[in-house]
Structures are given as structure tokens and as C-alpha cells.
Homo-oligomer: A and B are copies of this chain.
Amino acid sequence: MNIDEVGEKLVSGLQERSSGSGPKAAHEVLAVVFQIRQDRLCVLVWRRGRPPCEGLWALPGGRLGAAEGLGESIRRQLAQKVDVRDLSHLEQLETRGDPDRDPFGRTLATAYLGLVPAGIDPVVPVDTEWRPVPELPPMAFDHAAMVGSARRRLRAKLSYTNIGFALAPPEFTMSELSRYYRAALGHDVAATNLRRVLLRRGQIEETGQSVPSGRSGGRPAALFRFRARSLEITDAFAVLRPPSG
């Protein structure tokens, strides 16, 4: 490309920009809300009762309000499905805007990742269920892809952040926590290693209390809690970090 071509394209670009009446599209916000239930990673979905995609399962969410911010909107929409006070974490995930992602008109969608700690059972509407992620039901639109993105994001952040705080209840034993990690990561996590890693990173601490272990006896398990309840990056993972001096 030579400079003249660039100049022409620039002019047309400015004209388009200043014309001011570009196309407007509907925008919706959706949430992939995970909770670990019975040692399985589950996602909150609801069954669509009318077209389009009738009978398929969809993520909670809906149209962005006229004067709403994105985060504001997803909290309002989620309140229709769960008590948002149960949400331990919420972050923006991705925006999808394929022209044909919604057969009934151009719709952009911004997806969020939400987490609810294990151990509680929020009231949900009759059309809404927690479904295990490995056996996802037939999903509407591109919602299955969003669940996949959310799962990858969660897996990655379990490695280099303290996001476990949002999966676990306020207090937990190490064997419980290792089961949460196993469900979210999809593979075994030894409780003994997890304990050492998270303690060394300063993510968790002992509460000083303990609870009797399972039905058939065993040493009482110490209770732990996460030191922080908001997202922090483990800087041990910032490789190529600044020189120590």
C-alpha cells in the first residue's frame, strides 16, 4: 500500500465516522455462572419456552438497558435467576458479534463469567437448572461456545490467581478444596500439594478450628479460609520479572 491509497482510505474513514448515523444493533449481556455442586462443575441455564431456539437451553441474560452499563446490566439480568448476593465473582469474558449468531436479527452479546461458592443452594425459577458442564444440554445460539470460553478462563485463572476463593465456601478443609479444584480443572489434585502451594503463595490460612472428618473417623481436618476475597494475581507466575535488586 502506498501513501496515496492510505490517504484515500483515511478520508473515507473520516466520512464514515462523521456521518454519525451508523447501523445500530441490539446488544445483550449473558452470564456463564459456575458453581460446584456434588463435586461437579455446573453451569446455570434455563430452558427456552418459545422461539427462537425453543426447547434449547440458554444462558441467563437479556437486552442491555438504554442507560445501563454492561456490568450493571448483567447484575440486573442475573437477579432474575439467582440472588446476586450469592455471586462471589463476576468478570467480563468476551463479546461475540457474528452477523448470523442470532437468526432473528443482528445481536451482539457480551458474556460474563460468574461464580457462586460451593455449599449454598440458591433458589432458582422453575425453568432454570444447574447442569454439569461435561454433559451440557443442547444450547441455544452460540451459548455453548461461551461456556467453553468461560471454562478455559476459569481453569487458567486457578493456576495463576487466587480465584479459588470464589469457588469455595468461607471455610473449608483441604480435602474439600481439592475436590473443588478437581471438579473445576478436570483432573485430580492432591490435597497435600494443594495445601503447600496455596499456603506458600499466601492465598489461604488456617482458621485455627477443625472439624471431625467423615463418617468412619479419621483425624479431624483443619479449617482454612482464603485470605483475600477479591481477585489477586500470583506474582510468582510473572516470569521474566523485574531484577531483584
Residues of A within 8 A of B (CB): 1-3, 6-7, 9-10, 12-14, 16-18, 20, 22-28, 49-50, 62-70, 77, 79-81, 83, 92, 94-99, 104, 106, 108, 110, 123-128, 156, 158-160, 181, 185, 187-190, 193-194, 197, 233, 237-243
Contacts and interface: CB of A to CB of B under 8 A. Distances in A.
A222 to B, nearest CB: 20
Oligomer: number of copies: 2
Given A24-B26, A123-B1, A187 B95 contact: no
A186 to B, nearest CB: 8
B27 A25 contact: yes
A214 to B, nearest CB: 23
Nearest to A198: B240
Contact of A18 (B12, B20, B26, B50): B50
A97 B77 contact: no
Nearest to A83: B1
A173 to B, nearest CB: 18
A14 B237 CA distance: 44
Given A13-B80, A188-B242, 20 more contacts: A6-B80, A6-B125, A17-B63, A18-B50, A20-B104, A23-B63, A27-B27, A67-B106, A69-B99, A70-B95, A70-B96, A97-B110, A156-B238, A159-B240, A160-B160, A188-B243, A190-B243, A193-B240, A197-B240, A237-B239
